[in-house]
Chain A
Amino acid sequence: MSELYVRPIRDIAARMLGEEVIVMAVRDSRVFSLNPTASAIWSGADGVTPLREIVARRVACEFEVDADAAYQDAVALVEELAREGILQISDGPIPE
């Protein structure tokens, strides 16, 4: 099973406020607000930790959900954020 790796793109600004991360795409000033689960994934998206591991460590344990179901949701989430142009996805580690 191939792994997915995720990392925010360079041209964004992000900040944790309360339990949520808000993200702004600097190029066009679009603003995104991530819910606590999405924020947990975003915070772990360092480009070197596989998405499955991020979900297991930061979502499944923290939010007491089934790891496989949480992973499927996480894949859908990162694909959506990639479509919005604020996150990179790769099947290999993403260098800084």
Chain B
Amino acid sequence: MTAHLTVAIGGLLISIHSDNREFIAMLEQRYGNFVRQTQAGIRLEVEIVEPRAVGDPEEDLHVNFESGCWMMRRGDFLACWDPASGRGAVRQSAYPYAIDSVMRIIHSLMLARSGGFLLHAASAMCGGHAVLLSGVSGAGKTTIARLAPPEVTLLSDEISYVRRGANGYMAFGTPFAGELGVSGEDVSAPLSALYFLAKAPHNQLRPIAPAAAARMLLRNILFFAADPILVQELFRSACQFAARVPAHELCFRPDAEVWRLIA
């Protein structure tokens, strides 16, 4: 008999089924507050195999649409997902990073069609609104997340979830943790600002024009599929977002004072 759990991120439910109960129990712990007691939404059947049975461990990620299914493969997993039926299958070893990646790919594909995206960014909720703190590795996402004052709710220190709604953009918490090793909270809030992080000897905030913001945003959006139509959708989404949400460069030193500029 198979075990399962359902993970809800950004309102999208993904049910993960496996006959390996230990694996499902590990995911329950990992995804914590994002686990739901339902089987609705996308359904993934996960087959747990020995690492060497998956493929070449050095293989880079490939995501392609073939015969109605998204085919995903990397050194540590093989997966396919049929967006029409919502069903998919994953073959991986019993560690969580592979299923993390498969879920992120599925989310990025779903978001690309609806004006949203996953972003390399910390995100936080303060005073009823959310902010994105974006940057490449080393820009300071984890540092600034660690410096957040107690009244700030962390949505993620690594991968932020942005959805377009009828009244603007919303940020959602994700369980995908970065160096901080802490899952975000399962909450959402309307987005009020986007900050691009840069470490500096002093704190400074500088507005960024929409064109530059769109360019920087495109650099930091997570997207994996070699699909021209979705890439164009993503480009359009980034431009719309940059035209609507104020963007700033946030130069900061590792000191909690920086949150006075944000919150």
Contact = CB atoms under 8 A, between A and B. Distances in A.
Interface of A: 11, 13, 15, 17-18, 20-22, 24, 26-27, 29, 31, 33
A27 B232 CA distance: 10
Contacts of A17: 209-211, 214, 239, 242-243
Given A17-B210, A26-B235, 4 more contacts: A15-B214, A17-B209, A20-B209, A22-B214
A11 B232 CA distance: 9
B113 interface: no
A77 to B, nearest CB: 17
Interface string B209-223: 111101100110000
B52 interface: no
Interface string B200-212: 0000000001111
B236 A26 contact: no
Given A17-B214, A31-B219, A26 B231 contact: yes
A37 to B, nearest CB: 14
9 contacts: A13-B232, A13-B235, A15-B239, A17-B209, A27-B228, A29-B231, A31-B215, A31-B218, A33-B215
A29 B211 CA distance: 16
Contacts of B211: 17-18, 20-22, 33
A15 B236 contact: yes
B210 A18 contact: yes
Interface residues of B, number: 16
Nearest to B210: A17
A18 B239 contact: no
Contact of A33 (B212, B228, B232): B212
B221 to A, nearest CB: 10
A40 to B, nearest CB: 14
Contacts of B209: 17-18, 20
Contact of A24 (B210, B212, B231, B242): B231
A26 B215 contact: no
A5 B14 CA distance: 51
Contacts of B232: 13, 24, 26
A33 B211 CA distance: 7
A31 B242 CA distance: 14
Contacts of A29: 218, 231
Contacts of B235: 13, 15, 24, 26
- A-B pairs, 7 with minimum CB distance: A20-B211, A13-B235, A17-B210, A17-B211, A15-B239, A13-B232, A24-B235
B215 A22 contact: yes
A29 B232 CA distance: 9
B242 A13 contact: no
Nearest to B209: A18
Contacts of B210: 17-18
Interface string B229-248: 00110011001001100000
